[in-house]
Amino acid sequence: MNQFLSVSEGRHLGQKDTPVYHRRNTVLVAGGAGFLGARICERYIEKGYCVYCLDNLSTGRLSNISHLLDLPQFRFFRHDVVLPITLPGPVSLIYNMACPASPPRYQIDPIHTMLTCVTGAINLLDLAGQHKARILQASTSEVYGDPSVSPQCESYLGNVNTVGPRSCYDEGKRAAETLFHDYHLARGVDIRIARIFNTYGPGMDPLDGRVVSNFVTQALKGVPITIYGRGAQTRSFCYRDDLVEGLLALMHCKKDLAAPVNIGNPGEFTIAELATQVLALTGSRSPLCYRPLPQDDPQQRRPDISVAMRELGWRPKVKLADGLRQTISYFASELRRNAPQDAKVVV
Ligand code: NAD
Ligand code: UDP
């Protein structure tokens, strides 16, 4: 425990209402200060659980969890998953969300991204084994690389470059899936693997460089919308709350589900169509500008979610336009909060 820098620890000592962190009602969210991890923390607090949130704050932000920090049933530990992990008490559920998800962010230090995926997975799997906890891996549609089939179903083996700018993430996530599979077979660890497709929504970092963050902030500021390539490549965008409900359904499903499961929204849009929707919904007059397509940028992505629908009874509910409205309003308030007095935000 002493390797942790605990931000919230100690505030709870002596409080009458300090809850007991029983194994059965305690969850660990690694990467819990990130976009998706913070929402998972929130959902478990709502469900009456105690939550350990562990994060190195490399791409996550304390502002994502600031409303939870003072709760006695929430404890934050600043820690890197690459280092060995011990916890102050037992847990029954572990989410491994710890990894930068945005291409420009995970490419800043590719070796650390690979270490996060691989050593981080080993450390968390060992922890799951010690605590007899179920552990869910946040895997990704990137394991399919630049796919030659569409939609992508779980049995598709992928088309991934081992030596490109995206490889640290794609191959790291593939290796992590292998580690999960082998810990399950060789050591009986109770695993779940979610292959997450592009997700957006409130809580994203406006500066993370992902397409939704870029387009919405550019539209709100009235500056050019940066389309990489001709914008003909496709993505399928899932709203944050739909995605997190899918992860919870997978984690709590009583069936034996150790194999990977796609979680995403099958609605498929070109990047040019996304730009058009963002401009229409913000009422912005930002011009479009075209930039070179990054190397190995996948040309299409669309999940086949029949396994998730059949086994979990889950499907996404939020349409892109509705999710974008929520996201635009969140980004507008983030920009207002961070903008100098005289800065212009269009809506
Ligand atoms: P994010 O960058 O907002 O969150 C990741 C969190 O992990 C951050 O809080 C970051 O500080 C933390 N982190 C990174 N490296 C760490 C390390 N070595 N030790 C401890 N903490 C570390 O990203 P997100 O969108 O919330 O994604 C969460 C997870 O879901 C990631 O594993 C990502 O690969 C996966 N995923 C996300 C998407 C998506 O579209 N959002 C798609 C596919 C997969
Ligand atoms: N993209 C874009 N403009 C931007 C950011 C991204 O055209 O300002 C494109 C990017 O080339 C990719 C798609 O949008 O084709 C999704 O990019 P993102 O980084 O969000 O996620 P990816 O699915 O590539 O990991």
Q: What are 5-32's pLDDT values in tens digits?
A: 333 333 333 333 567 789 889 999 999 9
Please tell me the predicted confidence (pLDDT) of residue 13: 31
What is the CATH topology of the domain spanning 21-204+238-266+303-318? Rossmann fold (3.40.50)
The gap from C-alpha 112 to its chain's centroid, in whole angstroms, comes to 18
Please tell me the predicted confidence (pLDDT) of residue 11: 38
Please tell me the predicted confidence (pLDDT) of residue 115: 98
169 annotated active-site: yes
Cα 229 to ligand 2 centroid, rounded to whole Å = 10
Please tell me the predicted confidence (pLDDT) of residue 339: 75
Encode burial over 315-326: b for 16+ CB neighbours within 10 A, e otherwise: ebebebeebbeb
Domain ranges of the chain: 21-204+238-266+303-318
3-state secondary structure of 70: coil
Cα 100 to ligand 1 centroid, rounded to whole Å = 4
The secondary structure element, H or E, covering residue 327 is helix 320-338
Catalytic residue among 169, 183, 200, 239: 169
Cα 204 to ligand 1 centroid, rounded to whole Å = 11
Smallest Cα–Cα separation from 31: which of 64, 71, 4, 3? 64
Atom of ligand 1 nearest to the CA of 198: 40
Please tell me the predicted confidence (pLDDT) of residue 17: 59
Cα 197 to ligand 1 centroid, rounded to whole Å = 13
Please tell me the predicted confidence (pLDDT) of residue 19: 78
Please tell me the predicted confidence (pLDDT) of residue 36: 98
**pTM of the predicted protein model:** 0.95
Assigned token pair, 327 = 């996201």
Of all protein residues, the one whose alpha carbon is nearest to atom 14 of ligand 2 is 211
| Residues in the chain, pLDDT under 50 | 1-16, 342, 345-347
Residues in the ligand 1 pocket, defined by CB under 6 Å? 31, 33-37, 55-60, 80-82, 97-101, 116, 120, 138, 140, 196, 198-199
Name every residue whose Cβ is closer than 8 Å to that of residue 18 and which is 6 or more positions away in sequence: 12, 72
Of all protein residues, the one whose alpha carbon is nearest to atom 4 of ligand 2 is 211
Angstrom distance (rounded) from CA 266 to CA 323: 14
Atom of ligand 2 nearest to the CA of 215: 8
Atom of ligand 2 nearest to the CA of 212: 20
Name every residue whose Cβ is closer than 8 Å to that of residue 76 and which is 6 or more positions away in sequence: 6, 7, 8, 32, 33, 53, 54, 55, 62, 65, 68, 69
Atom of ligand 2 nearest to the CA of 104: 19
- For residue 300, the ligand closest to its alpha carbon is 2
Of all protein residues, the one whose alpha carbon is nearest to atom 34 of ligand 1 is 101
- For residue 119, the ligand closest to its alpha carbon is 1
Give the DSSP letter of residue 109: S
Atom of ligand 2 nearest to the CA of 101: 25
Q: Tell whether ligand 2 has an atom less than 6 A from the beta carbon of residue 218.
A: no
Please tell me the predicted confidence (pLDDT) of residue 6: 39
- For residue 231, the ligand closest to its alpha carbon is 2
